[in-house]
Structures are given as C-alpha cells and as structure tokens.
Structure 1
C-alpha cells in the first residue's frame, strides 16, 4: 500500500489517494470521521479546532460499504477556506490585488520550515511554505491511518495510543491495562494520559505555558497487539519494519525522536537486563518473558506487542515570538504569529497511531497478499498455525 497527500492549511481541501488497499474490506465514512474527531480533541488545542469539524468524503474505491481494490480518494474540506480565497486561490492576482496583499510573510519563524523552504524553492512570500508544512496536513494522514486501522482490526490486530509526558510531567503508568482499557481510559482523558494524577499536572503545565505565550511538547506511546512473528525482514536495511516505523514517527510535524520498548534506557544497563528470553508452549507457541525490545528483533516483529514512543518538541509558533530576520530588509524582527496550539501532544498521539498502523498494515499485506481481504485472512491464519508449531 501507499498514499499521497495534497492540500494546504488554508486551501479549499485536503486530499489523500490510497493505493493497494485490498478488495472486500468493510469501510464507512464514519470509520474515518471517528479518527478525525479524535485528532481534533485534546487539552491545549487552538481556536482552529472550533472552526473545523473534519469530515471525510469517500470519492472513489469504495462501493456499497466495501473497498473494490481500486485507489481510494479521501477528501476533507477546510471550512476556513471561505476567509482565505483571495489569499490562497489558484487564479493569478490582478495588479491591484497584488498591491493590497497584506498577508505576505517575509519573516521566518524559528523552528518552522519557513526559511529553509523559501530558500529551497525560491519563495519570497513564505506562506507558500508554511501552508503545506503545517500540521493541518496530518488530517488526511489520520484518514489514511483510519483505513489501515480498519484493515488491521479486521485481521485481529489492534492499536492504542496514550501520552507518556507533557512539559516534563511524566505518567506513572507501568502496565496492567488491557489494550481495550488503554483505549477507553486515554479517550476519556483530556490529555490522553493513563495516569489521572499526572493528567491534572499536565493540564496545569499547558495552562501555564498558554498564559506565558509559550508552548510545550511531550512524549507519546503507541502499542499494537496481535501482530504475527516475522513482519519486516533482516535481509536489507530498507526492509526492516522498525526502521520504517521510526521514519513514519519522525515524519510527523514537530517530532524529533523515536524509541522502541525501553529504547535509550538500553544504553545504561547490561545485556542480561535488555534482551527478551524466549518461551514456548503448545497453547501460545513462541513468546517472550519480557518485551523490553518493544516487539522487534533484527528488523522483524517477535509476536509481542509493538511498543513505540515518539518525542514531540514544543510547537514553534509562539505568542511571545522569537527573534528572526526579515528576508526582504534583512532587519531583525519578531517572527510572524500564526494561529496555533499551546500544546498538541494529545492530538499528535492520534497521528502517531495512524502512521504506525499504516506501516504495519503495509508490511502485513507484503507478506500475506494484497488482493482480497478473505484471502489475506486465510493466509495469515495458516501462517500463525505454522509459526506456532515451528
């Protein structure tokens, strides 16, 4: 499977085309809308979430509630487009319109793609960069992820996400919940935390940052259960599934780090406390006593839950703007202010679920077939029996 996205933050719509989704998968617009709604929630979101009520239109590849195997087109309209037609329209500007253009941006914001993108593509108005580099693009990545999640769930694989840390406030959750409980508890929390006491402190940290005109980041965690042994491969660097998931995580706007299982903690302790000992039983086949490596060895899944964390930096758009340089005058100025969130970590948790789900679904189809959901399910079932008895 693969997909492309198109569209700008204040353009008419965001679009994604998904290719390679197998035929026969039950898929409704509400499956996607539920995920889009989750992305818009979370303590610390800005006013944009009050304007946009994201809904997906399925324009191809689905007939009477089931995928056909053809490319799927998903569209999410930007309701705010009505206020931006004169600034973001595709038609050339008249001379008078160009003179009256008041929203040209020549002051790059530190931490954004503004300056690098402007230099790379030769844009004097950096709105051409920031409109596409905006995290608004993750809307349709979540839409694509919703399709991947539906595919995985149909095949007995489930995904959950939660927030580990916001602004230095860390959740004390150390396991014990089922995946279903994790989904429910995180969904009920305004910051998607599994630790109620930590959640209160996280919300206060967000309030403090907002009142100071600042922003804060955090750490999210995605857990995937039901994945069979052997997705990915050890034979080439670009076939390792953990590397693909790592790339997907850091592709999310403002994400700067990723780790699996105990991650960087493995650098501090001996190997005897890192590696997961192997067990076998007739009922469960091969399992591990622990899951410190987060479900991966040699670029392949071990059959244990996949556990991956992503680190999100604070959003760089601040209401007490940092210093920058005007690219036209070369004079120092305070950076431009665009409407923004004080903290988007809870929403980013949903995005992380989506990109991880997509990579796992893609790898699953690479191993078990691409054409029909019934055929894929049959192949997966046979493989599970084979690996259990191996």
Structure 2
C-alpha cells in the first residue's frame, strides 16, 4: 500500500492517490472528515483554520460505501483559492507583466523554513514556488490517507490514539488512561489535546503569551496503538524494521526534529535490568511483557505490546516578530517576510503523527497478512494469532 500527495497551500486543491487498499473495506467520507476536522482544531491555530473547512471528496476506488481494490483518490479543496487565482494560476503570465506586478513574490527567506535551500536547489527566484509546497497545509491529505489506514486497522480491532505531552516547556505530569477510547475522549476534550488538566491551562497560557509576543512554541506529541499483532516488520534487513519506518514517517512531518520509541533516550541513563521488558505467558493472551519500555518493539518487529511513539515539533518558523534574513535579489539585510501562521500547532501535529504512524502499521499489517480483500486478511490474522498464542 502506498500513496502520493499533490497540491500547494494556496492552490485549488490538495490530492492524494492511495494504491493497495484491500477490497470490501467499508469507507465513507465521514470516516475521513472526522480526522480532517480534528487536525484543524487546537488552541494556537491561526486564521487559516477559520477560512478553510476541510472536507474530502472521494473520486475513485469506492463504490456504494465499499472499496473496490482500485486506487482511491481523495481531494480536499482549498476554499481560499478564490483569492489566489492570479497569484497561483496555472496559465502563463502575460508577457507585458513585470516582476513587480507579480503579486506576493517572495525574495526574503524565513529562517528555519525550506524557503532558501529549496530555492537554491530548484533555482527559483520567487520562493513562493517553494513555500507553497513545503507548507504544512500538505499534511491535510496525509491525515486523509491516515484516516483510511486507521479504518483498515480498526476493522481488525487495532485502535489508535494520540495526545500532547509538552508545549513550550510545560510538561504533562498526571497522565492516566485505561484504554485507547479513554485516552481519545480525554484528548478530544482538551483544547491542547493534553490529559493533564493542570498542565493544559499552563500550556494554553504559554501559547497565548507566545502569540502576544509575536513568537511561536513547539512541543512533544505521543501516539499509542493497541491490538497490534506480534511480528509486524522484520529483523532481516535494516529497511524492513517497522520502528525505523515509523521513525522516518514521523520525521517526515513538517517541523518534526526528533522521534523516540518507548522510553527512547531515557534508556541511555538506565541499566539494562531497568530497560528490557520481562517476558510472561498465559493461556488467554499468549506471550506478553511485564512492562513496555520498548514501546511495542523488539528487533524492529512488533512484540504484541502497545506501540508508543513520541515526536518533537520545533516552533513554527513563521514569526510575527520576524528574524533577520537576506533578500536574495538585493543581498540586503531584511526582516523575514510574514505568511499567515499559527503560534502553536502542536495539538494539530498530534493528529498528523497519529495518521503517519497508523499508515506505517497498516502497511506492515497488509504486508504480513495479505492485501486483496478484507475477509481473506481477517482469516489470515486469526490463524496466525492462534498459532503464536501457544508457540
């Protein structure tokens, strides 16, 4: 299973084509729209979220509410396109137009963004060609693809959740939940997707302060997936390790600068006796672990415990008190240009991370158990589970 995305931040639409989704999967636009709406929420989001109301159109691969096995096309239209038709139009500009008449031309790169390096790489004198595609707006259709992956996982009893652990140095301390459903309920009821209500208030205050100062702040999100069978991924080659693929997917999210699985970097300061998860067995559950320090992975493979992955999001590089930069045309010192932006997008990033991790797990599940149609996959999972339970 694979997908590609296309589209620009202020273009007419964002598109993804997904290939390899099994036939007979129940799939409706509502399954996707709920996650698109979740991505747009969160304390600290900018004015763009008030302009756009992201809704998906499924234009292929689904008939009468069921997937057919053919490629699925998902489209999310940009409502703001009507204000950008001349700036982002497809047709050539009139020959008589000067560079000064080209609206919104960008020659001043923002520190921390793709603007300058992207322009150097592709030889663009107008960096709008870079920032329009490198914008996190593209994650809209990644979340759409992730929603399809989550639908696949939920069909086989695999549940996905996410929450925020830290924003702007404020850390969640009182984190407790008994199930993914409870985690999601608590997270959905928080403006910053935090399970610690005391920390939630402090996070919101930190976001408000950053916005007041024209600044931005980052944070840490966590994704948890329960019900994953043991044995997804492989130890035989570096590029078949599922935790490595998940780490790569997380790092592919805009502004993410670090990933850890399980206790992650904390393992460096502990002895092995406090790190490795002791193995236990019972007739009902088969092999499990006393703890889950490894975040559901051993040897690059799932071990049947919940997958726990965290990602670090840096502060958004578009600031309302811009940093120093250089105009690529004049080489003069300027304050970097301002595009409409958020003061904090960490709560939204949790939804993007959820989608990206779910996608990799769904791909691994289909690699292991087949991908033609749902009932065949279900039978394969059942037979495998019965075999390994009493291994």
Unaligned regions of 5+ residues in structure 1, if any? none
Q: What does residue 179 of structure 2 align with?
A: 178
Q: Which has the larger displacement, 377-386 or 236-245?
A: 377-386
Structure 2 equivalent of residue 35 of structure 1: 35
Are the counterparts in 1 of residues 176 and 195 from structure 2 also a CA contact under 8 Å? Answer: no
Q: Tell me, which stretches of 5 or more residues in structure 2 are unaligned?
A: none
Q: Residue 173 of structure 1: CA displacement?
A: 3.3
**Secondary structure of 1:57's aligned partner:** strand
CA distance in 1: counterparts of 2:127 and 2:154, whole angstroms: 42
Secondary structure in 1 matching 2:80: helix
* 2:44 equivalent in structure 1: 44
- Over residues 316-373 of structure 1, what are the superposed CA-to-partner deviations in whole Å (9 max), with x where a residue is unaligned? 0000000000000111100010000000000000000000000000000000001001
Report the equivalent of 1:15. 15
Confirm whether residue 75 of structure 1 aligns to residue 75 of structure 2. yes
In the other structure, the counterpart of 2:166 is 165
Tell me how far apart the structure 1 counterparts of residues 24 and 45 of structure 2 sit (CA, whole Å): 37
Residue 197 of structure 1: aligned partner = 198
| Within-5 A mapping of 1:241-320 | 241-320=242-321
Look up the SS of the partner of 1:378 in the other structure.
Answer: helix
* Per-residue deviation, residues 206-237 of structure 1 (Å, max 9, x unmatched): 00000000000000000000000010000000
- CA–CA distance in structure 2, aligned partners of residues 379 and 61 of structure 1: 24
1:294 Cα deviation after fit: 0.3
Q: Contact conserved, 2:215 with 2:321, CA < 8 A, in 1?
A: yes
Aligned position for 1:62: 62
CA-CA distance at 1:98 after TM superposition = 4.1
Q: Which stretch shows the higher mean deviation, 298-307 or 93-102?
A: 93-102
Which residue pairs with 1:220 in the alignment? 221
Shift in Å at residue 309 of structure 1? 0.1
Q: For 1:123, what is the secondary structure of its paired residue?
A: coil
Q: Secondary structure at the match of 1:15?
A: strand
In 2, distance between residues paired with 1:171 and 1:341?
Answer: 22
Distance (whole Å) between structure 2 residues aligned to residue 176 and residue 49 of structure 1: 30
TM-score, normalisation: structure 1? 0.99
Q: Which residue of 2 aligns with 1:91?
A: 91
Partner SS for 2:221: strand
**What secondary structure does 2:250 align onto?**
helix
Quote the residue 1:133 is aligned against. 134
Task: Give the match for residue 361 of structure 2.
Answer: 360
- C-alpha separation between the residues in 1 aligned to 2:97 and 2:15? 28
Q: What is the root-mean-square deviation in Å for CA atoms of aligned residues? A: 0.7
SS in 2 for 1:215: coil
Task: Give distance in 2, aligned partners of 1:348 and 1:146.
Answer: 15
Question: With structure 2 as the length reference, what TM-score do the two structures score?
Answer: 0.99
CA distance in 1 between partners of 2:152 and 2:175 (Å) = 29
Rounded Cα–Cα distance in structure 1 between residues aligned with 2:318 and 2:379: 49
The structural deviation recorded for 1:101 is 1.3
Displacement of 1:73 = 0.2
Q: 1:335 — aligned with what?
A: 336
Aligned to 2:349: 348
| CA apart distance, 1:95 | 3.0
SS of the equivalent of 1:177 reads coil
**1:25 aligned onto 2:21:** no
CA shift, 1:178, in A, is 1.4
Give yes or no for contact 2:175–2:195 (8 Å, CA) kept in 1.
no
Q: Report the 3-state secondary structure (helix = DSSP H, G, I; strand = E; otherwise coil) of the residue aligned with 1:17.
A: strand
Cα distance per residue 1:172-207 (max 9 Å; x no partner) = 134443111000000010000000110000000000
Task: Give the CA deviation at 1:96.
Answer: 4.0
Structure 2 CA distance for partners of 1:122 and 1:197, relative to 1, 3 Å: same
